[in-house]
Amino acid sequence: MAVITVLAVLCVIPFHMGLSRVDTATVFFISVILAVSYRLITTTGDWGFAHIIFQGVGAYAAALLGKHAGIPFIVMVPLAGLVTALVGAIVMYPMLRTKGFGFFITSFAFGELIRMIWVKVKDPFGGVGGIINIPMPELFGLKLFSLVNYYFACMVFMVVSVFIMWRIDRSRIANAWKAIHTDDMLAECMGVNVARYRTLAFTVGCFFAGIAGALVAYRLGSIDPHNFNINEMVYLVIWVVIGGAATFWGPLIGVTLLTVVFELSRELEEWRPMMFGGILIMFLIFLPGGIESLLPALRRPPSEHYARFRKWLTTLRPG
């Protein structure tokens, strides 16, 4: 019910706001795909630092194939996902030997390697200048150059992607992923082929990152390696940390909230990184579970809150 209401509102609003807002909302949809797919990988405990790079792989795939092979938009977006999934599976193979912080830093290394290939290999990636003149997307004769039209295209991709990931999150496969996160050795001894399932999660996550990448490429019309640098990755991490990664809804909360904060803080341009850095630190120290970890608290009766508050007060007294 709530979902339908939200969708209805999303269908109406582009006609009632400025075009820059419509573009912001389009970016928001892409961010949602990115954040939810990142969290899908983290369900196995594999926190990587290269998801943005995989978004880039999708973007480059869409830009190159869209430009040179003339593949239409509707086919190209999922195809970019498949290309990214393939690259993800290849990169995951050596990374399987690492986990935890080792995985994190290894994924960063492999991500940087991919990024440097874009910089270094002028043909076909275009070097620092990237790829320009990505053909304008068209869908059933409808020009998606119009921001409102593109808004709806991205919304559809977002809704479908999120729905699919939600189905996966509620499946037995996702349970196996979560089991690997809690205790990979136990999962393995219960018959879960940990290597295969980690690769599966990584590949599926990369597939959706690739879709997000293709949507970005068509939106911008030109891409270069800077679109997928470490700062973008940090913002992605901030979304997921602040929303929380334990439930499906955490990253959605994070993206939504921070997009709003980001828009409201436009005038603070220069101070913005400090603000987000500060928020990240505060959350990691005081609310490591993210905002979603507060949700169960909302369901508690007020009396229990009072009791907890009393207990918390006693911890403040010295000795």
Residue 123 contacts another protein per CB under 8 A: no
- Taking the C-alpha atoms of residue 179 and residue 192, their distance in angstroms, rounded to an integer, is 9
Binder of another protein out of 68, 143, 167, 300 (CB under 8 A): 167
Residue 261 contacts another protein per CB under 8 A: no
- Taking the C-alpha atoms of residue 23 and residue 10, their distance in angstroms, rounded to an integer, is 13
- Report CA dihedral (114, 52, 219, 169) to the nearest 10 degrees: 130
Residue 265 contacts another protein per CB under 8 A: no
Residue 151 contacts another protein per CB under 8 A: no
Give the number of residues in contact with another protein, rule: CB under 8 A. Answer: 64
Residue 8 contacts another protein per CB under 8 A: no
- Taking the C-alpha atoms of residue 39 and residue 245, their distance in angstroms, rounded to an integer, is 6
Q: Which is nearer to another protein, 38 or 218 (CB)?
A: 38
- The answer to whether the beta carbons of residues 211 and 13 sit under 8 Å apart is no
290: left (phi over 0), alpha (psi -120 to 50) or beta: left
- Cβ neighbour number for residue 198 with a 10 Å cutoff: 24
Residue 146 contacts another protein per CB under 8 A: no
For residues 203-242, which are near another protein according to CB under 8 A? 204, 230, 234, 237-238, 241
206 contact partners, CB below 8 Å, separation of at least 6: 37, 41, 54, 57, 84, 85, 87, 88, 89
Binder of another protein out of 105, 132, 156, 260 (CB under 8 A): 105
Binder of another protein out of 11, 17, 120, 294 (CB under 8 A): 120
- Cβ neighbour number for residue 8 with a 10 Å cutoff: 10
* Single-letter amino acid, residue 174: A
- Given the rule CB under 8 A, which of 22-30, 80-88, 139-147, 168-176 is the region that contacts another protein? 168-176
Rg (alpha carbons) of the chain, rounded to whole number:
21
For residues 77-96, which are near another protein according to CB under 8 A? 94-95
- Taking the C-alpha atoms of residue 31 and residue 236, their distance in angstroms, rounded to an integer, is 8
- Given the rule CB under 8 A, which of 1-9, 21-29, 113-121, 133-141 is the region that contacts another protein? 113-121
Determine which helix (DSSP H) or strand (DSSP E) holds 143, and give its type and residue range.
Answer: strand 142-143
Binder of another protein out of 31, 43, 55, 106 (CB under 8 A): 106
Which residues contact another protein by CB under 8 A?
Answer: 47, 94-95, 97-98, 100-102, 104-106, 109-110, 112-113, 116-117, 119-120, 164, 167-168, 171-176, 178-179, 182-183, 185-195, 200, 204, 230, 234, 237-238, 241, 246, 270-271, 273-274, 276-281, 284-285, 288
